[in-house]
Amino acid sequence: MSEFLSSEGKSLEVRMREMTQARIRLGRFGAGVPTKAAQSFLLDHARAREAVWSRVDEAFLAESLDALGMPFVSVTSDAQDRAEYLRRPDLGRKLSTAGQLALADYRARYDVAIVIADGLSATAVNVNSIRVIQNLATSAMIRRWVLAPIAIASNARVAIGDPIARAVGAKAVVVLIGERPGLSASDSLGAYITFDPKEATPDSQRICISNIRENGLDSERAALEIGVLLDKMFRERFSGVKLTALNSP
């Protein structure tokens, strides 16, 4: 069957592969797929499994934040180790007692708290978080926002940002967290933004920006979108689906 060609002479397959990393037009060999496609699938599956068990490179994050002149503090959730974290999602949402005590020394009046959380892919955090924070810091300086010290949270879920923000006295929190790895990407970072986080903040009061990575949403654009959302939250005094509905036709 002949291929459809674009005005640039590119085939449909080439154009589709330029737009997505998803598995498309793999071909077939007998009753299965070609060996190359099968091996690629197994490799990506192994990378996804590895990402779930990966660890945040705290030395790299510390060095990078020091270079940016941004103070930070390391905290943990109530999950004692990675295995318990994966078995008990509820514990990953709770800030440990030691974490509460560590943050008590930093309590003040801040506009935004930024949390780096390993989530389900520390790989994503190691690769993408610093670039996002660097751009966010620039946005904060332009807007004259006061940033709380960065919290690096281990074995953490999204909701751990709520007690962290309350502990330091921040009006809003941005949680940069490793997203669940898939077979197309294991380095995808998500940003969850919440205004006035409380003890039992429902997920409907958060706004998520996902797929922050080199082959997805670049860090500069992500930081820009986060800044715009925070502007709206500070103006309207709420976040989540209610804020999203304001922009709906």
| Gyration radius of the chain's alpha carbons | 20
CA dihedral 74, 75, 81, 83 (to 10 degrees): -100
The helix or strand, by DSSP H or E, that contains position 206, with its residue range, turns out to be strand 206-212
Angstrom distance (rounded) from CA 22 to CA 30: 22
Angstrom distance (rounded) from CA 169 to CA 9: 58
Q: Which two tokens stand for residue 123?
A: 């790989």
208 is in an annotated binding site: yes
Q: Classify 78 as helix, strand or coil.
A: coil
Angstrom distance (rounded) from CA 224 to CA 229: 9
Q: How far is residue 209 CA from its own chain's centroid? A: 8
158 is in an annotated binding site: yes
Angstrom distance (rounded) from CA 151 to CA 87: 24
Full strand arrangement of the beta sheet holding 170-178: 72-76, 150-154, 110-117, 170-178, 189-195, 206-212
179 is in an annotated binding site: yes
Binding-site residues from annotation? 158, 179, 208
Binding-site residues from annotation for adenosylcob(III)alamin? 158, 179, 208
